[in-house]
A and B are shown apart, each in its own frame.
Chain A
Amino acid sequence: MKQKLIEVKNLKVYFKVKENIFSRVKDVHAVDDVSFTIYKGEKVGLVGESGCGKTTLGRALMGLTGITDGKIYYEGDDVSWLIRKRRLNDLYKKAQFIFQDPYSSLNPRFKIFTILERPLRNFYRMGKEERRAKIIKTAISVGLDEESLEKFPHEFSGGQRQRVVVARALISDPLFLIADEPTSSLDVSVQAKILKLLSDTISRMDLSLLFISHNLAVINQFCDKVIVMYLGKIVEIAGWSELFKNPLHYYTQALINAVPLKDVSVKKIDNVRLEGPLPSVIDPPKGCRLNTRCSLATEFCFEKEPPLLEVKKDHFVACHLYDKK
């Protein structure tokens, strides 16, 4: 029996904006009524266009953005009140974040040693020697040598910096990692190295991972389960091979079609293309949110919002075409 690590129930994150100084305050529905579960040891991919709320969802799980409504459970404990009360230290012990840009997420004034020491000081009572031993062990496990601990971030290349970021996330022995496009600012060959490092550490330390990316090819090679988001909603959840073999939602099909393919095992579905621009998240379309861009949309899609239903075992989709009732 798989153990549940994280359970998200009806999570909503709204931002308040004013379009200009005279207009009313409006809500941006960045994440709107999202529910899913991550089991222990699972690598979950979160994919969608920019502006679909994937980063916000990741940040909300870490308490980096306030949540408007809904509940988040870590190992069965409700942590949403911790986020509301801003008592985040307890949360950070369980979950750690890997940021997109290794250039801006490391403090340029601190040596790598100090950067890696900080989480240990925050979460554990440890002696100096013990701390030092742990830092060296973690640094070596991500492929940094002992000398590099005395260097500053600017002395490293992008790939090396991302290793430091990974080391910082791992050093406090978390249960869960959230990686927000960790490789998008890196070169192809460096990207492969970092992905290899991440996948090795995750299987070694038995961690779970939420991997946020817009790159379907990376998600395809890396994740066990894939969540597809569109305009703040989850439209499809499935295992990776199931999703790429048998994508059900029109949006997922269009995403797969958009990837340059040279592989015959994944078939493109003809005539599936998204038309028009991404609608505004301030006034999302009524009914199904894809109805402005979906060529299969019927009248019903404009009226009622489709629920996320399990159509096959472990394959959820939110589309009226698969809703039998």
Chain B
Amino acid sequence: MDNKLSVKDLNVEFTTIKGKAKILRDVSFELKEHEMLGFAGESGCGKTMTSMSIIRLIPPPGKITRGSIIFEGKDLAQNSPREMVDIRGKKISIIFQEPLTALNPCYRVSWQLEEILKLHFPDMDKNERRKRTINILKNVGLSDIKKVLNSYPHQLSGGMRQRIVIAMAIICDPQIMIADEPTTALDVTIQAEILSLIKEIQEERKQLSVIFISHDINLLAERCDRIMIMYLGEILEVADSDDIINKPIHPYTRGLIGSTPRVSLSRKQFDFIKGELPSAYTDIEGCSFYNRCTEKDESCRQQKPELIDIGDGGKQHLVRCFKKK
């Protein structure tokens, strides 16, 4: 299978008065054709920043200091802002966490959807634009489309707003869709609907790959093909979602799974990862998880573990730990 997107040695730094904050440290991964890849980790671990650097929307003073993001044979990290405008929304689109801030409160839904088409397909005529907008709204499961098109974002419920944001993301038939915690602002029942909608969209569009960001590892495990665990701007483990849940190897992954409450008839004590997340300003020599790890020894502090493939039977299972079995 081809790689849709390959990120290699990506480094992002924020230079502030306090010094240099390393937000991403040598992040390398591949997004395969027609795949749903999940990013998991605590807040501040760089999952959002990874996706933001793919569409080159890192807020200043953040900068990509090293690395490449290869998409359709071109390096996105080297693209000019003008070239990025053609890619954003058309080839790579993003669904933000909070649907109300992602939509403009001053314009009707129809205007906001058609604006994207106007920008990316200037030759399209008015009727065709309207037809496509209506089709896409049907696609995301909205009924009473006339009313929706004529309403302002504040007149719609949270679930409907998120459906419109999803419609905006897929209206240009993108190659990659990034969903950045699309359901955290929503209710449980609506969350389930939105998740199955995203999965449905991904399944019916053969060219679409999805990057799904969430801090809820159970949620990712249910929907994603592969999961990537991040910590302090580093990738610690990448594997198929079943392997991550059933055979986690890195102590951090195990801690993360243990601390996520899940619905079950057996009860266990709350596990948690001891200690606090170190600041991004600190220089790390050895393993980034050293100060919170329960299985560390002297070598973990001095030497940095590499991301090694330990999978068997052709399946990839990357892990960054000396203690792998």
Contact = CB atoms under 8 A, between A and B. Distances in A.
B269 to A, nearest CB: 8
Contacts of B269: 196
A84 to B, nearest CB: 33
A187 interface: yes
Contacts of B256: 188-189
Interface of A: 49-50, 157, 159, 187-189, 191-193, 195-196, 199, 214-218, 220-222, 241, 244-245, 254-263, 265-266, 274, 277-278
Contacts of B145: none
Interface size class of B (residues with CB under 8 A): 35 or more
B263 to A, nearest CB: 5
Nearest to A199: B270
A220 B157 CA distance: 28
Nearest to A159: B276
B80 interface: no
Given A49-B188, A255-B188, A189 B273 contact: yes
A192 to B, nearest CB: 4
Given A199-B270, A265-B266, A258 B261 contact: no
A244 B259 contact: no
Interface string B28-69: 000000000000001100000000000000000000000000
B270 A262 contact: no
Main secondary structure on chain B at its contact with chain A? loop
Interface in B189-221: 189, 191-192, 195, 215-219, 221
A188 B189 contact: no
B187 interface: yes
Contacts of A258: 188-189, 191-192
Given A193-B272, A260-B219, A261-B222, A220 B263 contact: yes
Contacts of B276: 157, 159
A48 B223 CA distance: 24
- The binding surface of chain A is classed by DSSP as helix
A192 B189 contact: no
Contacts of B192: 257-260
B271 interface: yes
A266 B218 CA distance: 14
Nearest to A256: B263
B216 to A, nearest CB: 7
B260 interface: yes
Contact of B216 (A221, A260, A278): A260
Contacts of A216: 188, 263
Contacts of B187: 49-50, 214
Interface string B241-283: 0000100000000011011111111111111110010000000
A266 B265 contact: yes
10 contacts: A189-B273, A193-B270, A195-B261, A214-B188, A215-B261, A221-B264, A221-B267, A244-B265, A257-B192, A262-B218
A161 to B, nearest CB: 13
B21 to A, nearest CB: 16
Given A187-B42, A217-B263, A260 B273 contact: no
